[in-house]
Amino acid sequence: MAEMPSPASRGRLVVTERALGKVVRHVLRDAPGVATSHAPRVACDIAGDRARIDVDVAIEWPRPAVEVCQAVVDALRSRLPREAGLQPDHIELTVVDVVAPAATATRRVE
């Protein structure tokens, strides 16, 4: 049986901006405090193995915006190299809305 060539000689991974946007949305979906009821706007630019990411998100009330934003940035910086093979050079995060969490209480009919 022939031996498999080394990974470096097999080719390279190319991640499109569209695919990177999907990875970013997946990371946002897992971030605590980001409102999943509002679809985030994500724009990505890739140059080599570097990425610039612009994101507009809604956050849940009464979460502190600074804490939610820092958690999102930290998650993107740690997960994008592993999941997309790209290092985020710049992350621009804008909070565009603050929303109340979904009502979980049941209504009582009188």
Q: 3-class DSSP state for residue 82?
A: helix
| Average pLDDT of the segment spanning 10-35 | 92
| Average pLDDT of the segment spanning 49-53 | 96
Question: Within a 10 A sphere around the Cβ of 93, how many other Cβ atoms?
Answer: 18
| Cα 2 to the center of its chain, rounded Å | 41
| Average pLDDT of the segment spanning 67-92 | 97
Q: For residue 88, is pLDDT > 70?
A: yes
Residue 14 binned pLDDT confidence (cut-offs 50, 70, 90)? confident
Q: For residue 105, is pLDDT > 90?
A: no
Q: For residue 104, is pLDDT > 60?
A: no
